Structure 1
């Protein structure tokens, strides 16, 4: 399958900018992902006409927002071939996701004496949660790089 890089870039408004006379290359999506126009437009529509708490209300807007979110969860689960939609957890960003894994899976599975291995290139957000988990379990299983 081939695709046009220029066509993909055209979907992202920020990528029309130049930095130092060159097309912008944005490589920090783990921290703050740029959004394509389609996402920006869909979010704006939702905020204008359907924004409400999800799974926290019984009024119409909340029920509709919940239904939309659960439909997205179902579609995403089909896209990644998950066994069920309930396997998907939406988080605000990578940092929250890493913290969730360290504090849920890590708390249940990492034992004193286990080693956690991470690369030297890891972002700070993928070091600190494991350091904290290791400090709770055993000072000997500090993340290894």
Structure 2
């Protein structure tokens, strides 16, 4: 496993603390979020934020489609 490559996925780990790269081991309290998730969530809020499975309008359908696509991806 390329640890440096994995660290690059987590913007928060790019910080220096007391002159050393940040190391975060408290995952039982809060897990850090990779850039891929941050950008996907931000894009959702920018373009299609609405309740899923509850509306008959464009944004609700877009949100529902995105959720169902994510479920299919995880299931595979």
TM-score (norm 1): 0.48
Moved more, 69-78 or 21-30: 21-30
Identify unmatched segments of 5+ residues in structure 2.
none
Distance 1:66 1:30, change over 3 A: farther
Aligned residues: 76
Larger Rg: 1
Deviations 1:7-39 (A, max 9, x none): 110111110112233221112233322111121
Identify unmatched segments of 5+ residues in structure 1.
79-145
Q: How does 1:18-29 map to 2 (within 5 A)?
A: 18-29=16-27
Distance 1:52 1:10, change over 3 A: same
Q: Which has the higher contact order (CA 8 A, sep 6+)?
A: 2
